[in-house]
């Protein structure tokens, strides 16, 4: 059998996808970070972390269908429908292409918490470092606030959407 890694097909075996089993396994342009809601979640490498901080939204208005605490993909899709230009954090994720993958999104509250829980293992695996500061989730609280997570201590809280925080993109795979 051909060396799949040499052919650039390291994630394939006999035509099927080899699913990750260990936090930090390289998978589909990023690093496997665990499962949630039936999906394999993938943390973007350091290229998927904005080099600075961004607003969640540029105005104090509600964005319909961004209140899921478990489905960042759906929340980010709702931002696109509402006008992605008004959602800088979501736009950064949507505009990413890493190793040919362009399905990145802003994580929900629960997905972001899983990222925080596993960030040390992801760093050790090569995903790049995380800033000890606040990261946005895609989960909206109301017209003025969205949920965020502090990567220093793990606390989740809300902040004004027009404030600026860090962003790290995720992707997902359904087995």
Give the start-to-end residue ranges of the domains of the chain. 20-174
- pLDDT tier at 1, thresholds 50, 70, 90: very low
Beta-bridge partners for 17: 12
- Mean pLDDT, residues 92-106 taken together: 96
- Mean pLDDT, residues 140-167 taken together: 98
- What pLDDT sits at residue 108? 98
| Average of per-residue pLDDT values in the chain | 91
- In what order do the strands lie in the sheet containing 26-27? 26-27, 30-36, 39-43, 170-174
CATH level 2 (architecture), domain 20-174: Roll (3.10)
CA quadruple 22, 170, 75, 166: dihedral positive or negative?
positive
- Mean pLDDT, residues 60-80 taken together: 98
Q: Is the pLDDT of residue 10 over 50?
A: no
- pLDDT tier at 15, thresholds 50, 70, 90: low
- What pLDDT sits at residue 14? 40
């Amino acid at each position: 059998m051909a060396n799949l890694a040499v052919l650039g097909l390291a994630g394939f075996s006999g035509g099927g996808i080899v699913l990750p089993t260990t936090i930090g396994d390289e998978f589909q342009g990023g690093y496997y970070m665990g499962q949630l809601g039936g999906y394999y979640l993938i943390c973007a490498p350091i290229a998927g972390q904005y080099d600075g901080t961004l607003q969640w939204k540029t105005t104090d208005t509600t964005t319909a269908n961004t209140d899921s605490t478990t489905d960042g993909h759906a929340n980010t899709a709702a931002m696109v429908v509402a006008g992605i230009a008004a959602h800088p954090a979501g736009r950064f994720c949507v505009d990413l292409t890493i190793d040919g993958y362009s399905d990145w999104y802003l994580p929900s509250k629960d997905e972001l918490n899983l990222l925080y829980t596993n960030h040390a293992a992801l760093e050790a695996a090569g995903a790049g470092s995380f800033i000890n500061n606040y990261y946005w989730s895609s989960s909206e609280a109301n017209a003025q606030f969205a949920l965020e997570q502090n990567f220093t201590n793990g606390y989740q809280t809300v902040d004004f959407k027009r404030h600026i925080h860090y962003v790290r993109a995720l992707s997902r795979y359904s087995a």
